[in-house]
Structure 1
Amino acid sequence: MTIEFKRSWADEDIALFRDNVARFVENEVQRHDEAARKAGNVGLDVWRKAGELGLLCTDIPEAYGGGGGDFRHEAVIHEELARRGLTGMNTSVHSIVAHYLLNHGTEAQKRHYLPRLASGELVGAIAMTEPGAGSDLQGMRTRAELSGDHYVVNGAKTFISNGFLAGLIMLVVKTDPGQRSRGTSILIVETKDLAGFRVGRVLDKMGLKAQDTSELFFDDVQVPRDRLLGGVEGQGFYQMMSDLPYERLFIGVTALACMEGAYASTVAHVRDRKAFGRAIAEFQNTKFKLAEIATQIQVGRAFIDQCIAQQLRGELDTVTASMAKLWASEAQGRVVDECVQLFGGYGYMNEYLVARMYTDARIQRIFGGTNEIMKEVISRAI
């Protein structure tokens, strides 16, 4: 008997969609993953192909060029990538950019940018973090000063996912440095041929080797006034906070899928690998460890599926999403570590999936708000 980790939200249509996603992932992403890991990015072609197949912005209404689906479709894409350890396409950031526009943009902004994100013409990035600021978004220094019909932007951002390939950046700036959260705004920045904009080095990370993460620099960059997200200054902090549950649920979804992928890979390995004349899977320690891992995944699946159901109803709140991010990312670290141990020396080799998953998993406890911040958010509700 093989343990199945069933999704309570899956139906026949979702199963068919998953088959299409799996084919794309295997043919267009997995096949080129080694090259992407060496280059530090997946290139733009794979984004264009995903757009052609309707695999970008799947939960954006068709009226804006999206797939007209819901969060389940986004979850499927993230799961199929994560369970294979494929990190090059950061579709979560891309989707969050689309939701910033959908939830907070003007009608003109939605119609101009959402179809281009859905087609893969533009790859989306969010530029929040700055050198020296970290999780303290209120301490950012990137400044946007209004001059006639343009904002003049000066500053630097770092750790920007999709930063190297990004054609569209949601840039978090200070429009009124005298205010704290109320002095923060978001500018929609299209990067092509943009004077004063510069992409710095693609950062050399411990994990996520196929995913481009870059520094960005803005030197007297002019951004038209109508590119202010929502058209009203001082709304940036609210806009970011309102979309955090969506972002943190993505982290929970990918964590569970990674755990499932690591578990499946480990089961196959211990059944095939022999020590002292018998399969490793026959040893009691191996069986007990796999039992513990399977139980953690089943428990996590129940919670994450509950969060997905709340998201579908529009009821997922920041505290619950923070719990999902906290628990799932911590469990992911424990599970993948145990899987590496069961692989033995092979688990330390990058040619094996669990080795790559091990280094990739570490960032899950940091981005989307560190797990220490998650505890702070949760504790305020107690």
Structure 2
Amino acid sequence: MGSEDAELEQLIDTVDRFVEQKLKPREEEVERTDRVPDDVVADMKALGLFGLTIPPEYGGLGLGCYEEARIGMVLGHTSPAFRSVFGTNVGIGAQGLVIDGTEEQKQKYLPGMASGEIVGSFCLTEPETGSDAGSLRTAAVRDGNGYRLNGTKRFITNAPRANVLTVMARTDPNEPGARGISAFIVDADTPGIRLGKPEKKMGQRGAHVCDVVFEDAFVPADAIIGGVEGQGFKTAMKVLDRGRIHISAVCIGVAERIIADAVGYAKERRQFGKAIAEFQLIQAMLADSDTECAAARALVLDAARRRDAGERITKLAAMCKYYASEMVGRVADRAVQIHGGSGYIADYAIERQYRDVRLFRLYEGTSQIQQLIIARELLKEHD
């Protein structure tokens, strides 16, 4: 094992102990209060979790995609709400700057994001624009040495606590579709920005989303990420490719936790004079879940290695997100069935997990969008 491998395993071990000793015992508290405690957030900052993927020259750990995926799997062993606290800094809230930002933009924001003092958020989805991201309506109209932003962004993760926003807006109203869109890095306290009420969600309590409304919010011209108009959609797609690997890894971690809990329950729960784990139909559900989880893990780690090697992974990333998010939904459903009536009661973690995992099939591209991406890329390969 090389020194880099040893360092990764040491980091994984550290994060695993943090999950087991600090996060799992607080899951019910987060579910009850709908917030991650301040002392837990402080511990996350101290561990460097906010800067996992931010380059070392800006204060982060600079993890590659494979390393990030391995950590994501460990983080999936507890409530997804914990990961959500720093998830936008690791992924969509910071990667636009990391990938396409100017040096000045990186110097201004990334050190604070790496430390957790700055929380980033990614503003793409709109009330009338979800899967069809290329038709977004938020407008950025030139005004002297800057732009006026007007529009509404919907379901924005971490917006209630964000200090800086990556905003996708249309700078060229005459250019339909993706080519007229630019990406802006915007301070959240800019006049003309207000937040909607936090949404009450099915699951993932403690992870907060709300609308972000722009009403003549002025941003300087140098707020365009990379300094070039019309590149915003390309930036977003590059960010989402890596983000989909990350989410897929978390799905695998959640599935591993659910499977372990289901196995434990099946060994303890007795019916007809023996543990239900001895019944072949219970074993079949466990076998299907473990097999699908292992397949997702292999797919995700292969895609992550390929991205680190410089390969274009748009299709693979979509495959990962599609398969892993659907897989964890099936795993959770089987686990409820294994628990029987107890699986529908909040005394067991699976009741919460069943609700939590439903979101994975929706954000950062629905399963149907992933199918379209996979098919589109496949057809290109056979031109």
TM-score (norm 1): 0.91
Match of 1:37 among 31, 38, 61: 31
Q: Distance in 1 between matches of 2:101 and 2:39?
A: 27
Match of 2:74 among 57, 71, 80: 80
Give deviations 1:5-44, integer Å, cap 9, x for gaps. xxxxx94332211221123334554344334334434266
Question: What's the Cα RMSD here?
Answer: 1.9
Q: For residue 203 of structure 1, report the CA deviation from its aligned partner.
A: 0.6
Q: For residue 131 of structure 1, report the CA deviation from its aligned partner.
A: 0.6
Would you say 1:101 and 2:97 are equivalent positions?
A: yes
Give deviations 1:274-330, integer Å, cap 9, x for gaps. 122211111121122212222222222221221121122122410111111111111
Alignment match, 2:228: 232
Deviates more, 1:11-20 or 1:331-340: 11-20
Q: 1:204 to 1:355 in 2, by over 3 A?
A: same
Match of 2:16 among 22, 25, 29: 22
Contact 1:48–1:121 (8 Å) recurs in 2? no
Would you say 1:339 and 2:335 are equivalent positions?
A: yes
Would you say 1:270 and 2:231 are equivalent positions?
A: no
Q: For residue 120 of structure 1, report the CA deviation from its aligned partner.
A: 0.2
Q: 1:100 to 1:232 in 2, by over 3 A?
A: same
User: Structure 2 counterpart of 1:183, which letter?
Assistant: G
Give deviations 1:143-174, integer Å, cap 9, x for gaps. 11121223211111111111111111101111
Bigger fraction of residues in helix: 2
Alignment match, 1:3: none
Alignment match, 1:187: 184
Q: 1:11 to 1:313 in 2, by over 3 A?
A: same
Give deviations 1:80-124, integer Å, cap 9, x for gaps. 221223324324332222221111000000111111100000111
Alignment match, 2:371: 375
* Counterpart secondary structure, 1:135: coil
Q: Distance in 1 between matches of 2:298 and 2:203?
A: 28
Contact 2:51–2:116 (8 Å) recurs in 1? no
Residue correspondence of structure 1 range 169-318 to structure 2 within 5 A: 169-180=165-176, 181-192=178-189, 194-318=190-314
Alignment match, 1:114: 110
Q: For residue 45 of structure 1, report the CA deviation from its aligned partner.
A: 5.5
Match of 1:129 among 121, 125, 128: 125
TM-score (norm 2): 0.91
Q: Distance in 1 between matches of 2:42 and 2:110?
A: 14
Would you say 1:50 and 2:44 are equivalent positions?
A: yes
Q: 1:37 to 1:169 in 2, by over 3 A?
A: farther
Give deviations 1:331-381, integer Å, cap 9, x for gaps. 111111011100111111233222222111112111111111111111122
Contact 2:88–2:119 (8 Å) recurs in 1? no
Corresponding pairs, count: 372
User: Structure 1 counterpart of 2:60, which letter?
Assistant: G
Contact 2:198–2:210 (8 Å) recurs in 1? yes
User: Structure 2 counterpart of 1:51, which letter?
Assistant: K
Structure 1: 5+ residue runs without aligned partners? 1-9
* Counterpart secondary structure, 1:345: helix
Q: 1:37 to 1:220 in 2, by over 3 A?
A: farther
Q: For residue 231 of structure 1, report the CA deviation from its aligned partner.
A: 0.8
Q: Distance in 2 between matches of 1:213 and 1:351?
A: 26
Contact 1:48–1:119 (8 Å) recurs in 2? no
Q: Distance in 2 between matches of 1:336 and 1:302?
A: 20
* Counterpart secondary structure, 1:60: coil
Alignment match, 1:148: 144
Contact 1:57–1:98 (8 Å) recurs in 2? no
* Counterpart secondary structure, 2:81: coil
Q: Distance in 1 between matches of 2:25 and 2:174?
A: 51
Q: 1:102 to 1:35 in 2, by over 3 A?
A: same
Structure 2: 5+ residue runs without aligned partners? none
Q: 1:41 to 1:177 in 2, by over 3 A?
A: farther
